Structure 1
Amino acid sequence: MKNIVIACVDGSPSTRPVCEYAAWASRLLDIPLSLLHVLEKDTHPAVSDLTGSIGIDSQAHLTQALVRVEGERSRLLMAQGKIILNDCAEILNQAGHSEVTLLQKHGTLDEILADLGDIRLMVLGRRGTQNPVGSHLESIIRLHRKPVLIVPESFQPPSKVMFAYDGSEESRRNLTRLTLSPLLSGLVCHIVMVKGDARALQEAQKILQTANIHAESHLLEGTSVADALCQHASDNGINLILMGAYGHSSLRRFFIGSNTSTMLEKTPFPLLMLR
């Protein structure tokens, strides 16, 4: 499965905006869209204590009962997932996006990501249910080698974006990739650095402007990278934040650690994590 947008749905409040953002990206990139529902392998049994059965043969009885309960739970979760997929497909169909592939996967997160192959963009919600998609954001960003768009609980077509630039080689590569992406076509782009090099920031702005992207550069201050980024986004009407998931600066250390969840909690805007 290559060059597609994958929308990860789990029935949480983020499910509808995940579909809407995925449809937005699919139209601009002019590539197919697939909906994915994940059934993760659960190491916790549905019933942990059936010791009310006493007797020599109770162990065999309990084992059989557990097998029946686990089988029924799996069947119900699979049926629930199919309902979620069909409901999402209907939402997209009503929005004029009729050609959608429905996928349901079962297994560990790394197995599922490997099985999906070389996809173009993965879209998932910031808040999820107990299902793995939406609740294992850092793991997905680490394991998935392609851009990941993490969205809030409501959809707003992006019109003004902010790219968090750190001057690293990886950040410059991501900047060059953005000049080729249809996602930025017609949008205003704020390129920002937190306590960075003003000259490097201006050079980055010129790269975007040369590609006919309306770009503004802003050198931000603040002791916290997250606070500085979120404040600038709020003050300037930003509705999409782009940043590298891995780099070689304070941004790299910031986004690989547990502070990723802090950033997700602080900003109400969608985050496009570039790899």
Structure 2
Amino acid sequence: MQAKTILSVIGVDQDDADLHSAIELCRGAKAHLSVLVTALAAPPIGGYGEVTSTIWIEERERQTEGLRRKVAASKTILQADDISFDVTSLFTEYGWAENEIGERARYVDLTLIGGGFLAHDDMGAEILNGALFQSPAPILLVPKGYAASLRPKTVLVAWDSRNEAGTAVRAAMEQLIAADNVCVAMVDPSATTRSNGEEPGADVATFLARHGIRVSVDVLPSGGRAVSDVLRQHAVDIGAELIVMGAYGHSRVREWIFGGTTRSMLEQTPVPLMMTR
């Protein structure tokens, strides 16, 4: 993936760390930065009494003013730099946020979501759902304390021989080719013709090697642990600077209700995570 337009979603109440990280990422990639400042509209409180309505209107006015101030502050920071950028705002209702985020993410190469935004439980899930399920572009999830980069030296690819994993690998091909080391990690793979082949990981390793990628395959036993825990630990063990994986091997509803590898990795990733549906 060669990113020429990167979308950075930031919230009204968060600090500027995610914005500065996005600026550095776009400067290195020579990409246009599209900043979307978002706020969830406060829902109506109680019934339809005059006092309640007045309080609700005042709260929404406070929110829109905060949004305006954040947009202005973001523009000031960006104007001090030399990258190409635009800044827009989104003031939306909870039920509409996912679709509106997806609409904007549909026309970029990558959606960048920083740790500051994910700390807001109310909006974080809406952003992730919109970016992942309403857009074909990958997301780059950057935990707090990490700098966003599209030139990692060591990459861990979470592989399970499914279409989602294949889509994620193709989306990250530029990063994989440029990396010094790419580790394909498989947790408890079954060696069957219809699943992973007689030698799990051999097919994808051959595919990547033909692109000039320096690749190795690690077959990891879970030992009764969750797949996400095994992947997180292995990423730390090999010094990975990026994890690449596909989103939602199970149905979206089932994964969200009962948990799963995708949800667990989104909630807690030790290093930047590039994910594609």
TM more than 0.5: yes
Q: 2:195 is matched with which residue? A: none
Letter in 2 for 1:145: P
User: Taking structure 1 as reference, are residues 19 and 243 closer, same or farther at Cα in structure 2, changes over 3 Å only?
Assistant: farther
- SS of the counterpart of 1:79? helix
After superposition, give the CA deviation of every residue in 1:228-262 in whole Å (9 maximum; x if it has no partner).
1011111110121110013369xx97688534453
Mapping 1:1-275, distance limit 5 Å: 4-10=5-11, 15-17=16-18, 19-21=20-22, 23-24=24-25, 27-28=28-29, 30-45=30-45, 59-60=49-50, 62=51, 65-66=54-55, 69-86=58-75, 88-89=77-78, 93=81, 97-107=82-92, 108-109=96-97, 110-128=99-117, 130=120, 133-136=123-126, 138-140=128-130, 141-156=132-147, 157=149, 158-179=152-173, 181-182=174-175, 184-196=177-189, 197=191, 199-222=199-222, 223=224, 224-247=226-249, 258-259=259-260, 260-275=262-277
CA distance in 2, matches of 1:203, 1:40: 45
CA distance in 1, matches of 2:124, 2:33: 19
CA distance in 1, matches of 2:57, 2:128: 34
Gaps of at least 5 residues in structure 1 are 51-58
Q: 1:56 is matched with which residue? A: none
How many angstroms does 1:118 deviate by?
Answer: 2.1
How many equivalent residue pairs? Answer: 256
TM-score (norm: length of structure 2): 0.75
The two structures, once aligned, show a CA RMSD in angstroms of 3.6
User: Taking structure 1 as reference, are residues 274 and 242 closer, same or farther at Cα in structure 2, changes over 3 Å only?
Assistant: same
How many angstroms does 1:114 deviate by?
Answer: 1.8
Higher Cα Rg, which structure: 1
- SS of the counterpart of 1:73? helix
CA distance in 2, matches of 1:67, 1:247: 41
Letter in 2 for 1:247: G
Letter in 2 for 1:144: S
After superposition, give the CA deviation of every residue in 1:65-91 in whole Å (9 maximum; x if it has no partner).
336513531333223422452365267
- SS of the counterpart of 2:161? coil
After superposition, give the CA deviation of every residue in 1:126-173 in whole Å (9 maximum; x if it has no partner).
453548553545523333332111111123443211110111234234
User: Taking structure 1 as reference, are residues 271 and 72 closer, same or farther at Cα in structure 2, changes over 3 Å only?
Assistant: same
Query: Contact 2:167 / 2:276 at 8 angstroms: preserved in 1?
Result: no
Gaps of at least 5 residues in structure 2 are 192-197
How many angstroms does 1:205 deviate by?
Answer: 1.2
- SS of the counterpart of 2:37? strand
